[in-house]
Copies of this chain bind each other. A is one copy, B any other.
């Protein structure tokens, strides 16, 4: 290991270089995405570039919308370059499918909202199309599976 020789830096610098917050770094350490940092004499965390690369990987994966658990698996794979990448592929494909499903529901929601907003004439509440649609039993969204899982994401 030549890590002993590389320059080290504090958590603030690390966070800034990775484009995230200091508390987030500590959080990732706590949940085990980042290894327990070495400390200086005053108990402050010291990092080298290897950790910056790992944190950058994490942030990229999170930017792509992968869950922390998926990131954990992807990191595990990145740590073993000689293994086959089927599983990374499967994780990415599944995530893509989820994103596509969300896109579809969100698109339908946009259409409904557009219709709703377009029909509001701007008068009194009791003539308001928005309040009316929300009140009406039979004006259900086809996107909303009643009794299934809720919340469009």
Interface residues in chain A, defined as those with a beta carbon under 8 Å from any beta carbon in chain B = 19, 53, 56-57, 60-65, 74, 77-78, 80-86, 88-89, 92-93, 95-96, 99-100, 102-103, 106-107, 109-110, 112-114, 116-117, 120, 122-128, 130-131, 133-137, 139-141, 143-144, 146-147, 150-153
Residues on B with C-beta less than 8 A from A103 are 103, 106-107, 110
Known: A19-B146, A133-B60, A153-B153. A122 touches B85 (CB 8 A): yes
Q: Are B78 and A109 in contact (CB under 8 A)?
A: no
Minimal beta-carbon separation of A7 from chain B (angstroms): 18
Cβ of A134 and Cβ of B60 under 8 Å apart? yes
Question: Given the complex, which residues of B lie within 8 Å of A136, measured CB to CB?
Answer: 60
A81–B124 CB distance below 8 A: yes
Chain B nearest Cβ from A75, distance in angstroms: 9
